[in-house]
Structure 1
Amino acid sequence: MPELTDFTVPDFHLPFGNAKHPHAARANAEATAWAVEHELVTDAVDQFAGIGFGHLAGRVSGDVPYETVVLLAKWMAWSFVLDDQHDHLIRNGRLAAWQPLVGAIAEYLGTGRINRAPARGNPLVRGFTELCDRILAGLSEPAAHRFRSHFRLVLRSLDQEAGNRRAGGRPTVEDHLLLRRHSSQLLPMMDMVEAGLGIDLPQHIHDLPAFREVVASTLDIIGWENDVFSLPKEHSCGDTNNLVSLIACRDRCSLADALRTVEGLIHARIEGYLECERRLFRVLDAGEGTEPALREAVSRCVRSYEDWMIGADLWQRYECTRYSDERFAAGLESAYTRPDLVSVA
Structure 2
Amino acid sequence: MPHLDPFTVPEFHLPFDNSKDPAGDRANAEATAWAVDRGLIEAGASEQFAGIGFGHLAARVSRDAPYERLLLLSQWMAWSFVLDDQHDLLIRAGRVRDWQPISDAITRHVSGGERTGAPRPALDNPLVASFAELCDGIMAGMTPLLQARYRRHVPRMLRSLDEEAANRLPGHRPTVEDYVLTRRHSSQLLPMMDMVEADQGIEVPDEAHRTPALRELMWSAIDVISWGNDVFSLPKEYSCGDTNNLAALLAHWHGLTLPEAVRAVEQRIHDRVEEFRAAARDLPRTLDALGVTDPAARTAVEHRVRGYEDWMIGADLWQRHDCTRYRDERFAAGLEAAYTRPDLVSVA
Question: Where do residues 189-200 of structure 1 align in structure 2 (5 Å cutoff)?
Answer: 189-200=192-203
Q: Say whether residues 1:236 and 2:239 are aligned partners.
A: yes
Report the CA distance between 1:68 and its aligned residue. 1.3
- Secondary structure of 2:160's aligned partner: helix
Q: 1:2–1:254: 8 Å Cα contact kept in structure 2? A: no
Distance 2:113 2:94 in 1: 31
1:132 to 135, 138, 145: 135
Matching residue of 2:87? 86
Q: 2:38–2:126: 8 Å Cα contact kept in structure 1? A: yes
Matching residue of 1:215? 218
Report the CA distance between 1:2 and its aligned residue. 4.9
Distance 2:216 2:290 in 1: 18
Q: 1:51–1:321: 8 Å Cα contact kept in structure 2? A: yes
Distance 1:289 1:100 in 2: 43
Report the CA distance between 1:284 and its aligned residue. 2.0
Distance 1:297 1:46 in 2: 39
Q: Say whether residues 1:113 and 2:114 are aligned partners.
A: yes
Report the CA distance between 1:295 and its aligned residue. 1.8
Report the CA distance between 1:107 and its aligned residue. 1.3
Matching residue of 2:170? 167
Q: Say whether residues 1:41 and 2:44 are aligned partners.
A: no
1:268 to 268, 271, 287: 271
Please tell me the residue identity of whatever aligns with 2:314: G
Report the CA distance between 1:297 and its aligned residue. 1.6
Matching residue of 1:28? 28
Q: CA RMSD for the aligned pairs?
A: 1.3
Matching residue of 1:329? 332
Q: 2:202–2:304: 8 Å Cα contact kept in structure 1? A: yes
Of the structure 1 ranges 309-318 and 296-305, higher mean CA displacement relative to structure 2 is found in 296-305
TM-score by length of 2: 0.96
- Secondary structure of 1:18's aligned partner: coil
Report the CA distance between 1:285 and its aligned residue. 3.9
Shift of the 25–112 alpha-carbon distance from structure 1 to 2, 3 Å rule, reads: farther
Distance 2:124 2:296 in 1: 46
Question: Where do residues 273-292 of structure 1 align in structure 2 (5 Å cutoff)?
Answer: 273-286=276-289, 288=291, 290-292=293-295
Matching residue of 2:13? 13
TM-score by length of 1: 0.97
- Secondary structure of 1:166's aligned partner: coil
Report the CA distance between 1:193 and its aligned residue. 0.3
Task: Provide structure 1 residue ranges, at least 5 long, that are not aligned to the other structure.
Answer: none
Question: Where do residues 69-84 of structure 1 align in structure 2 (5 Å cutoff)?
Answer: 69-84=70-85
Q: 1:12–1:267: 8 Å Cα contact kept in structure 2? A: yes
- Secondary structure of 2:208's aligned partner: helix
Distance 1:112 1:25 in 2: 36
Report the CA distance between 1:62 and its aligned residue. 2.9
Give the number of aligned pairs: 345
- Percentage identity across paired residues of the two chains: 62
Stretches of 4+ aligned residues off by more than 3 angstroms: 285-289
Matching residue of 1:318? 321
Please tell me the residue identity of whatever aligns with 1:206: H
Q: 1:62–1:304: 8 Å Cα contact kept in structure 2? A: no
Distance 1:88 1:136 in 2: 29
Distance 2:192 2:60 in 1: 13
Q: 1:28–1:52: 8 Å Cα contact kept in structure 2? A: yes
Please tell me the residue identity of whatever aligns with 2:14: L
Distance 2:22 2:236 in 1: 31
Matching residue of 2:125? 122
Distance 1:329 1:51 in 2: 14
Q: 2:208–2:292: 8 Å Cα contact kept in structure 1? A: no
